[in-house]
Amino acid sequence: MEAKEIYGKLERKFAGKVSGFQGDVMDPNLRVDPQAVVEVCRYLRDEPDLKFEILSDLTGLDLPKENKIQVVYHIYSYSHRHQIVLKVDLPRENPQLSTMEGVWKVANWLEREAFDLFGIVFEGHTDLRRILLPEDWVGHPLRKDYVEQEEYDGISTQRAPLVEKLLR
């Protein structure tokens, strides 16, 4: 099914909760209301002529200029070989979203990663811990305004330029 038809179908079913369809870009995408994202995704997975069985990728995108963080879902259907991108806009301070674990199990680790690197809190997640960084790390590195802590566990994270070292 074409991305435009998919959007049309969603718009009829969830009036006012999906918007901002962009069809003339490389990966057609649409915006979903943060409150409705789980029910929209469940519908996308279960509806026989949509059947998006697989969440290919879930990640964050920090947009400080617009003061928002986007959660980006790339979904794909094995049965119909079509794909679409869903985007959810969240505020940069305290971004919160319902977990997608109940729809696609793969979301468990992908959401943990998004939490780790962007600080997006997924409500209802069964095991929301950091995954790539240690538990006691400070900050979320993939935010554009992230400043690395000066030392971790007593080890400096900074390194003096090699030239200075040689001159000394």
Q: What residue type is assigned to position 165 of the chain?
A: K
What are the tokens at 45?
């997975």
26 versus 166: smaller Cβ distance to other proteins: 26
Neighbours of 70 (CB within 10 A): 19
Contact predicate 58/114, CB 8 Å: yes
* CA-based nearest residue to 34, from 94, 110, 76, 106: 94
Does 138 contact other proteins by CB under 8 A? no
Which residue in the set 25, 147, 160, 162 belongs to the binding site for other proteins (CB under 8 A)?
A: 25
115 binds other proteins (CB under 8 A): no
Of the residues 1, 36, 128, 133, which one makes contact with other proteins according to CB under 8 A: 133
Window 63-92: contact mask with other proteins (x via CB under 8 A): ---------x-x---x--x---x-------
